Amino acid sequence: MTLPIPEPVTSFATLTLRTPAPHVLLVTLHRPEARNALNTQMGLDLMTLFERFQIAADGVRAIVLTGEGDKAFCAGGDLKERRGMSDETWQQQHAIFERMMRALLACPIPKIGAVNGAAFGGGCEIAAACDFIYAAQTARFALTEVTLGIMPGAGGTQNLARALGARRAKEITLTGLPFSAEDAERWGLVNRVCAPERLVEEAVATATRIAENAPISVRQIKQSIDRGLDMAIGDGLAFEIEAYNRMVPTEDRHEGVNAFNEKRKPNFRGR
């Protein structure tokens, strides 16, 4: 029996997709006229793209997510679109953003955020939903919702608290003040600060290294860390061993060991 899995969508109104290296997908938020602000269509596009990866990897083993241009990764929610929205329409739109965020977090493929400029509000939340972040020296981060009479509603209070600790997350979300890429690195939100002109190159190089590793191993490691954070240490260790044992009978495990002993590069096939 063949399941009727829909073909992957390769063209989006607010995203551009490129393959800069084998098995690496570069996703660019593309609304430069609005500083890549998150509108309804971008929410739908991100939701569609990342929900697809829960069904089929389509040969993708690592993802880099960045913004168009050198000014903004994503300036946050598009307040021009939201102007005049009824409460009902606002909540309907936000339901799309909630589903988008769940798709980002549930994506089994590692995601590297390449933050090239301002990552404010929802843009900061999208970046924080990545597995880790590289940022340009010129990047700025902020969760400004409290200054607008709302609050982070796309994972901001949860992902920042997990990345930075409760006290730093409270300071950021309760003041709404921006912070630099250097601060973000020092506090643990950003893994590496890069020269702006080298940001995507360095993120793609790391994604390529990940993509060269055994896909099942990568997926199991990511899942073990993500799930284990919400478990007691004993339960986390048990989950890790279960994930480990799933890899023992795989072809990739045999290939990896044979390649090491034969002093050659392994050819991992994800099975």
**Mean local confidence (pLDDT), 225-252:** 90
pLDDT at 50 over 90: yes
**Chain mean pLDDT for the chain:** 93
pLDDT at 119 over 70: yes
HSE of 80, CA atoms in CB hemisphere, 13 A:
7
Give 213: exposed, middle or buried? Use CB within 10 Å, 0-12, 13-18, 19+.
Answer: middle
Tell me the C-alpha distance between 83 and 89, whole Å: 11
pLDDT at 3 over 60: no
pLDDT at 259 over 90: no
**Mean local confidence (pLDDT), 227-233:** 91
**Mean local confidence (pLDDT), 112-122:** 97
Phi-psi region of 137 (alpha: psi -120 to 50; beta: other; left: phi over 0): alpha
pLDDT at position 262 is 85
pLDDT at position 49 is 96
Q: Percent of the chain at pLDDT above 70?
A: 98
For the stretch 8-38, pLDDT in tens is 777 899 999 999 999 999 999 999 999 999 9
For the stretch 55-88, pLDDT in tens is 998 999 999 999 999 999 999 988 888 888 899 9
pLDDT at position 142 is 97
